Structure 1
Amino acid sequence: MSYQPAIMSASLGRAWLHNLDYKIEQAAKAGFKGIEIFYEDLDYAAREASGSDSPSAEDILNAADRAHESCQAQGLEVIGLQPFLFYEGLKDCEQQAKLIEKMKLWFQIAKRLETDTIQIPANFLPADQLTDDLDIIAADLRQVADMGAAESPVVRFAYENLCWSTYIDTWEKLWEVVKRVDRPNFGMCLDTFNIAGRVWADPADATGKTPNADKDLKQSLERMVAEVDLAKVFYIQVVDAERMESPLVSGHPFHVDGQPARMSWSRNARTFMYENDRGAYLPAEDVAKAIVNGLGYKGYISMELFSRTMAETGEHVPVEHATRGMAAWKKFHQRLQLE
C-alpha cells in the first residue's frame, strides 16, 4: 500500500456556503486522490435538492448518490464518512437507542458512497451526561462494531480522541478503549492536532504550551510506537494550528462560554501543516513521524482543516483551501521521504 493524499470535504469550506460538487472538483484539480465526506455536506445538499429544512432519509441517500457520482467523475475515493457524534458513554439510554437507529442510515450512506469507514469522534458532551466508565464506553462502541461487522461489505469504525473530549482526550485513552472493544473492524483515526493539542499545547496559557510539553510529548510518542498495533490505525490526519496571540480565555475573540478552550481553538484556528506564516506552531511533524516512520503506517493521509477561513464567502475559498492542502501534502511527502 502506498501513501495517498486525501482531504475532508468540510476542510474546503462551510457546507451552507460552498457547493459540495464544487468542493469535490477543486480537491481533484489540486491533486488529491481521496476525500473524507462530512455528513453536514450531505445534509445541506439534501436540503437544497429537496427544498426542505428537514430532509428525509431518502433525500440524504440521494445526496450521497450524487456525491459519489461526483467523486467517481473526478477520480476521488471516499475514504470515510464522518463525524458520527455524541454516541458512546451516554447516560440517556433513549438517546443512545435513537443513535443506534441513526447508525443504520449511516450504513446505507456509506454503501452509497462506496466507503467502508465511519469515523466516531470521542464524545464531548458535558460530563453530567456521560459516564467515565471505560467498560461501558467500550460496550457501547462494541455494539456498533458488531452491527458494522454484520453488514456486507463490513463497515469499519475509526474512533478518534479529540483534545477537548470529555474523557477520551488522549491517544493513550483512545488506545485503551480500542483494546477493550476488541473487534477487527474497530480501530483508530490518529490526528496530529488532537494528539499534540492535548499533551503539548494549551491555547489558554500565555506560552501556548503545557508545563512539561516537550518531555511529555516525547515520552507519549515513544509509548505510542512501542504499544500501538498498526493494524488498528485505519487512517491518519495531519494538521497544525495557530498559536494564540493572547490566552484563549474569557474576553478572547474565540472564547465561547461553556466551551472548552481547545474546542474553540480547533474550530477557529487550525492550519494546514507547515503554514508558519499563518502562525502554525505545533510539533505536528514529530507526531506524524511517530505514526509513519515509527509505527510504519502506509495508506491515506488526510490534510484536515477546521478554521474560520472556511466560513468566508466566494468561489475562491474551496480553491485556496485545496491549493493550501496540496502544498502541505507535497512538503510533508518530501520531508518524511515518503514512497
Structure 2
Amino acid sequence: MQKTSIATVCLAGTLEEKMRAAAEAGFHGIEVFEPDLVASPLSPEQVRDLAEELGLTLDLYQPFRDLEGVPEEQFQQNLRRLEAKFQLMQRLGVDLILLCSNVGTATNWEDPVAVEQLRRAADLAAEYDVRIAYEALAWGRFVNTYEHSWSLVQQADRPNLGLCLDSFHILSRRGDVTGFRDIPGEKVFFVQMADAPLLLMDVLSWSRHHRNFPGEGGFDLVTFMRELYATGYTGPVSLEVFSDVYRQTESVRTAREAMRSLQWLDDAQSGDVPARPTGWDFAEVRAAEPADLVEVLTQLGFADRGRHRTKDVHLFAAGDARVVTNDRAEAPLEHAGGSVIASVGLQVPDPRSTAEHARDLHFPKAWRANRADEMVLRGVQAPDGTEVFLAPSTAAAPQWVGEYGSRAEGETAGDDLILGIDHVNLAQPWQWFEEGVLFYRSLFGLEAQVSNDVASPQGLVRSEVMRTPDGAVRIPLNLIPHGLDPGRSAEPRSLSGHVDHDELRLKAAYPQHVAFLSSDAVEVARRARGRGLRMLPVPSNYYEDLAARFNLDEGFLAELRENDVMYDRDEGGEFLHFYTRTVGTVFFEVVERRGGYEGYGAGSAPVRLAAQYDLDRQ
C-alpha cells in the first residue's frame, strides 16, 4: 500500500484527538483542515511537534478558496490572504496547500486571466517553498472538471503548481478517468478519495452530508485507482469524507474503519478479491422467550435435532436450513422482551484464510468455547455485533451437527419443502450502517445492490442488500431509524470485541429475520397453518391491489389470500412469500423463487412493516 493519509474533517473530536486517532489506526499522515486548526488551543508549532511525536506527517493544508478569476483589486487582497497561509504553513512544517476552484467570487471568467493569476500565486508560493495543488470542485462556478483544471495548470507552467484529483468531485459528475493517462504523475500533487451512495440531489449537499469511505458507496473507485497509478503517481492516497455520521461517532473506531477501507481499495485495485461464501451454514437466534421461538419453528416444519452436548443451545433443521436457538437470555433481551439474530454461519472455501484476512483487516474475533472433541468454528464480529462463524464448504451436513442430540426414532426430519436459508435480514444501528457494508464487502467479497427506501409507520427504512454474484448468500442490511432509540449512545462496544448491553438492547429493539427457501411456499403455509402457526395477517386491500397490478387467476389469488401469502413478479420470474409473527423482534419468512426472480418482494415490505407495527401496538 502506498502512503496513507486522512483529512482531519473525517473524524470527530478536537484536532489533538483526531491526530491521535489517525496515528492509532496506522495512517502515515494527515491533511490539516483549517477549521480544526483555527478551533484548536494548540499553536501551529505544537501541532507540528505532536505530529512528530505520533509519527505522522502533515501532508496538506486545506482549503484555500475563491482565489482566481477575479478583478485585479480583489486578486491583490486574495494574494495577501494566501501569503498569510504560506507563513502559517511554514510554522506547521507543511509544504502543500489545497487550492479549490472558485465557486463564489469569479464573475466574468476568462481562462487567460485565471492562468496568469495561478502563475502569480505559484510564484509567491515558491518564495516560501510551498507547492499548490489545484482542485476542480464539482460545483465550481467555471472550473468543475479535472480536465479544465489540468488545462489551466499546464498553461500556468510552474513547477510548484499541480493538481489535486478528488474522486468525489470527478465521479459525482461521471467524469472519464481514462483521461488521467494524459497527466504526468509528477504533476498530480495529491489524491483525495471518497465513496458515496448514488443519489439524485444537488452535488454540494451530496458532498457535504453523504460521502463515505471507499467500499461503502456506489462509485467505481477501483478503476479510478488503476487509472491514477497508470500516470506514475507515487504520492499519498488520502481520505476526505464529509459525513454527518462520522462527526458523531468515536474517532478511533472511525479512523480504523477508514484505514480498513483503504486496505480494501488496495486489494481490489490489485485484483486480490477475497474468497466468497458458497452458502449458509446456520443462523442463531437468542430470545427472551425461547419456548415461543421453538413453537414457531416447529409449526413451520423444523425438526428438533436436540440440545448441544455442552452448550445451552438447540438445533432445528429442515432441508439444509439450520437454526440454532440460544436458551441464555441476556438481561437486555429480558428487559426489552426482544430477541436477536446473535450469529450466522457462512460456508467458505478456506475458513483459516478468511479468518486470517479478517485479522489483517483488524476485525475483532468472535469466540466459541470448544472441547477437544468439538469442531473448531473460527469467527469474526461484524460492526453491529453479529458474530459470523466460518465453516468449510460442504454438500453434506456439517461436522458440528453431530454435537447435538440425535433425533428420536420416527421423528420427522423436517418439512421436505423447505430447502435452505435464502437470506438473513440484519438490522444495523444508524452509526454503523456504512461500516457494515464495508465489512461484508471487504471480508467476503459481497456486492452491494442499489439501496432502497421503504416506507414504514415509523418513517423511511433504508435497505441495502449485500450478496454473492450467484445469490448463494444474500444479506439485506436495514438501517435502524436514528430516532428509534433516542437514549442510544454513539459509543462503540468494547474494543475487546464483546457486544455491550447497549448494543444488544438496540438490536433487540428492531425487527430482523431469517428467510427460508422453499419449493412451494403456498403448501408450506398451508401445512404450517395446520400445525397452528399464526401468520402475519395481510390486509384484503393488498390482494385487491395484486389483482389490479398482475391480473392473476382468481383461483390462485384466492389461494394466496387464504394462506396470507404475498406475491411479486418481474421480468425474471415470480416470488411467493409469507411471514410469521414476531417472537420478540425476530420473525421468519418462507420464500419461493420461480424462474429468474432475484428480488425480495420490495412492494410487500411496506405492508409487512405496517402489519407488524399494528400487532406491536395491540
TM-score relative to the length of structure 1:
0.76
Per-residue Cα deviation, 1:115-153 (whole angstroms, up to 9, x for no partner): 210110111116xx42321111111111110011122xx
Of the candidates 57, 63, 68, which is equivalent to residue 43 of structure 2? 63
In the alignment, structure 1 residue 189 sits paired with structure 2 residue 126 = no
Relative contact order (C-alpha < 8 Å, sep 6+): which is higher? 1
Of the candidates 197, 212, 222, which is equivalent to residue 242 of structure 1? 197
The CA distance in 1 between the partners of 2:154 and 2:59, in whole Å, is: 23
The CA distance in 2 between the partners of 1:330 and 1:136, in whole Å, is: 42
The CA distance in 2 between the partners of 1:64 and 1:95, in whole Å, is: 28
In the alignment, structure 1 residue 30 sits paired with structure 2 residue 57 = no
Aligned residues of 1:192 and 1:288 also touching (Cα < 8 A): no
Aligned residues of 2:44 and 2:92 also touching (Cα < 8 A): yes
SS at match of 1:83: strand
Of the candidates 172, 188, 204, which is equivalent to residue 263 of structure 1? 204
Of the candidates 212, 231, 240, which is equivalent to residue 304 of structure 1? 240
The CA distance in 2 between the partners of 1:108 and 1:35, in whole Å, is: 19
SS at match of 1:123: coil
Q: Which amino acid aligns with 1:21?
A: E
Q: Which amino acid aligns with 2:233?
A: Y
CA 1:263–1:337: 2 relative to 1, 3 Å: same
Aligned residues of 2:48 and 2:92 also touching (Cα < 8 A): yes
SS at match of 2:219: coil
The CA distance in 1 between the partners of 2:96 and 2:170, in whole Å, is: 21
The CA distance in 1 between the partners of 2:186 and 2:195, in whole Å, is: 25
Aligned residues of 1:80 and 1:119 also touching (Cα < 8 A): yes
The runs of at least 4 consecutive aligned structure 1 residues that moved more than 3 Å come to: none
Aligned residues of 2:191 and 2:237 also touching (Cα < 8 A): yes
The CA distance in 2 between the partners of 1:158 and 1:241, in whole Å, is: 23
Deviates more, 1:264-273 or 1:282-291: 282-291
Of the candidates 78, 81, 88, which is equivalent to residue 68 of structure 2? 88
SS at match of 1:308: coil
Aligned residues of 1:238 and 1:301 also touching (Cα < 8 A): yes
Of the candidates 151, 154, 159, which is equivalent to residue 179 of structure 1? 154
Cross-structure match for 1:43 = 38
Cross-structure match for 2:145 = 170
Report deviation, 1:112: 1.6
Report deviation, 1:310: 4.0
The CA distance in 1 between the partners of 2:138 and 2:57, in whole Å, is: 28
Q: Which amino acid aligns with 1:326?
A: M
Cross-structure match for 2:258 = 325
1:1-339 superposed matches below 5 A: 3-13=2-12, 18-45=13-40, 49=41, 63-91=43-71, 93-125=72-104, 129-151=106-128, 154-198=129-173, 200=174, 217=175, 220-225=176-181, 227-244=182-199, 247-248=200-201, 261-275=202-216, 280-292=217-229, 294-312=230-248, 316-337=249-270
Structure showing greater radius of gyration is 2
SS at match of 1:240: coil
Q: In proportion to residue count, which structure has more strand?
A: 2
Q: Which amino acid aligns with 2:243?
A: S
The CA distance in 2 between the partners of 1:112 and 1:9, in whole Å, is: 18
The CA distance in 1 between the partners of 2:74 and 2:254, in whole Å, is: 36
SS at match of 1:299: coil
The CA distance in 2 between the partners of 1:222 and 1:295, in whole Å, is: 10
Aligned residues of 2:221 and 2:265 also touching (Cα < 8 A): no
Aligned residues of 2:186 and 2:232 also touching (Cα < 8 A): no
Aligned residues of 1:86 and 1:122 also touching (Cα < 8 A): yes
Q: Which amino acid aligns with 1:231?
A: E
The CA distance in 2 between the partners of 1:94 and 1:324, in whole Å, is: 46
Aligned residues of 1:238 and 1:288 also touching (Cα < 8 A): no
CA 1:135–1:311: 2 relative to 1, 3 Å: same
The answer for unaligned runs of 5 or more in structure 1 is 50-61, 201-216, 249-260
Q: Which amino acid aligns with 2:25?
A: A
The CA distance in 2 between the partners of 1:40 and 1:65, in whole Å, is: 17
The Cα RMSD (Å) is 1.7
The CA distance in 2 between the partners of 1:223 and 1:115, in whole Å, is: 30
Per-residue Cα deviation, 1:163-188 (whole angstroms, up to 9, x for no partner): 11111111110110111110000000
CA 1:317–1:99: 2 relative to 1, 3 Å: farther
The CA distance in 2 between the partners of 1:137 and 1:190, in whole Å, is: 19
Identity of aligned residues (%): 30
Aligned residues of 2:11 and 2:247 also touching (Cα < 8 A): no
SS at match of 2:250: helix
- Report the count of equivalent residues: 271
SS at match of 2:172: helix
TM-score relative to the length of structure 2:
0.42
Q: In proportion to residue count, which structure has more helix?
A: 1
The CA distance in 2 between the partners of 1:228 and 1:115, in whole Å, is: 25
Aligned residues of 2:10 and 2:247 also touching (Cα < 8 A): no
The CA distance in 2 between the partners of 1:157 and 1:39, in whole Å, is: 16
Aligned residues of 1:303 and 1:328 also touching (Cα < 8 A): no
Aligned residues of 2:185 and 2:234 also touching (Cα < 8 A): no
Q: Which amino acid aligns with 1:222?
A: T
Q: Which amino acid aligns with 1:285?
A: V
Cross-structure match for 1:254 = none
